[in-house]
Structure 1
Amino acid sequence: MTTAIINATIFDGTGRDPIPNGTLILEGDMIDRVGAGIELPRGASVIDAAGATVMPGMIDCHVHLFGKVSPVHERPRFPVSLQLFHAAKNALRTLDSGFTAVRDAGGSPQGVKMAIADRLIPGPRMKISVGALSQTGGHGDETMPSGVRLRSTSGAGAEWPETLVDGPDEVRKATRELLRAGADFIKLHATGGVLSPTDEPTDTGFTPEEIAIMVCEARARGKTCMAHAGRRASRTLLRPGWNRSSTAPLWTKR
């Protein structure tokens, strides 16, 4: 199907001046031509975008589309099947906000990504981590002071491998299981956070040896890693050649 968007101000993101009264021709999902004075293909579906601006889709590099986010202690009240519908709603809302690709940093199983790719639900293209690795007592450990553990950001079983790990052997196995479950990259919690019940945002987690294992296993499958990391943890991450710290403060020297 051919679609023509006409009379738009076209911003292409390259640094060049916007194109006034521009035309954009789509062939199916692909952009075929962009510019001014383009002749419309015969039979094209025409969208008059006079007064509007057309720009490239944005990319959000840190989202959590899956499930109902807060409050944490309320999450176990909702079945996984309901959380899937929340994921569909979040995916549509993200797409409608102009984001055509996202990096989901924990929670979404590969079925959500596949449903969007197969056009069962509308949403942005996804890269997923499936889960996020955490040490015991770290940011990903939702064990409450009562001793009750809330595996609440996801379900259990093969689609969501165990992510609470300690020591080289557990880290290696969990990394491999996440990759088997469809992870496009490995996410880890190298710093504490505000939503986890037994740590502080300034805490650090995982040893350099454990982190190096994650990086090694990811690279063996042609994948990368990302981290929830603050200032001190970012220094640790640099030792194994780290380059994907998505929450490090901007003033951390690399």
Structure 2
Amino acid sequence: MLVPGLIDCHAHIAFPQPGKTPRSARLFEAAAVLRTLLGRGVTTVRDAWGADAGFRLTLEQGWITGPDLLLSLRQLCTTGGIGDTWNPRTGAVDALGDPALPEPVFDGPDAARAAVRRMVRAGADWIKLGASGAMSQGDRVHDPLVTAAELHAVVDEAGRYGGRGGSPTSRRTRRRARIPLRSRSSPPPARNGRPAAVSCPPASPMCPEPSPRPPVVRWRW
């Protein structure tokens, strides 16, 4: 039986492991992960934070085997959001600190546009924005962490580069800014017994029916 290749819309193929694992270890781990994904029928992966453009180049050159990669590089956020590595004990210690993974933290609309440009310059296929809190923050998970002006700036600037834009954000934040983001990392709650529409490619298991708008990213088959 012949079936279409699967698309993983949210993966972290090269996220640093906790502990004292050397940074280079994640490169070899990612190679094994990519090979396994391809062997299980996944032909496209949208990496949502952690992999740089070198992974895509490595696959294109045939040095390792794996699915096509669509990269966000980092997750944009405002100060204190998901992606801000500061903590009260050590300060700003970035486990992902690397010239190929630019600084994702911004404050204000102009800085938001600059953050998008940094990601695009470093090879991002799409822009990931953490516009609300994390599940680890408990009740703060639904708190809007960006202003309407900042969110508009990110979406507008991403649109200048081919419509790259996505957010795992809460519906409250989206309503507040009145911006219909074209991609989500997880499906929204069901409405009247059926999933609410999300904007992603029809081939994705997140979509119960074809999206009324084109996908955020450029899919390669």
Question: Which residue of 162, 166, 170 maps to 2:103?
Answer: 162
Aligned to 1:65: 13
Aligned to 2:179: 240
Amino acid at match of 1:108: A
SS in 2 for 1:201: helix
Aligned to 2:201: none
Whether contact under 8 Å (1:230, 1:247) holds in the other structure is no
Q: How far 1:115 sits from its partner (Å)?
A: 0.6
Aligned to 1:174: 115
Residues 150 and 87 of structure 1: CA distance in aligned 2, closer, same or farther (over 3 Å): farther
Residues 65 and 145 of structure 1: CA distance in aligned 2, closer, same or farther (over 3 Å): same
Whether contact under 8 Å (2:167, 2:181) holds in the other structure is no
Question: Which residue of 41, 50, 55 maps to 2:3?
Answer: 55
Q: Which one scores higher on RCO, CA 8 angstroms, separation ≥ 6?
A: 2
Q: State the Cα RMSD in Å.
A: 2.2
SS in 2 for 1:60: strand
Consecutive unaligned residues of structure 1, counting only runs of 5 or more, are 1-9, 11-53
In the alignment, does 2:71 pair up with 1:128?
yes
SS in 2 for 1:115: helix
In the alignment, does 2:48 pair up with 1:105?
yes
Aligned to 2:188: 249
Residues 225 and 94 of structure 1: CA distance in aligned 2, closer, same or farther (over 3 Å): same
Q: Going by fraction, where is strand more abundant, 1 or 2?
A: 1
Q: How far 1:242 sits from its partner (Å)?
A: 1.9
| Runs of 4+, deviation exceeding 4 Å | none
SS in 1 for 2:142: coil
Normalising by the residue count of structure 2, what TM-score does the alignment of the two structures yield? Answer: 0.78
Q: How far 1:187 sits from its partner (Å)?
A: 0.5
Amino acid at match of 1:133: L
Q: Distance in 1 between matches of 2:136 and 2:85?
A: 9
* Percent of aligned positions that are identical: 35
Aligned to 1:79: 22
Normalising by the residue count of structure 1, what TM-score does the alignment of the two structures yield? Answer: 0.69
> Which structure has the greater CA radius of gyration?
1
Question: Which residue of 225, 241, 246 maps to 2:165?
Answer: 225
Whether contact under 8 Å (1:191, 1:201) holds in the other structure is yes
For 1:6-21, what aligned pairs fall within 5 Å after superposition? 10=1
Q: Distance in 1 between matches of 2:163 and 2:74?
A: 15
Residues 67 and 244 of structure 1: CA distance in aligned 2, closer, same or farther (over 3 Å): closer
Whether contact under 8 Å (2:78, 2:145) holds in the other structure is yes
Could you list the per-position Cα deviations for residues 162-188 of structure 1 after superposition, in whole angstroms to 9, with x for gaps in the alignment?
A: 101111121111110100000111100
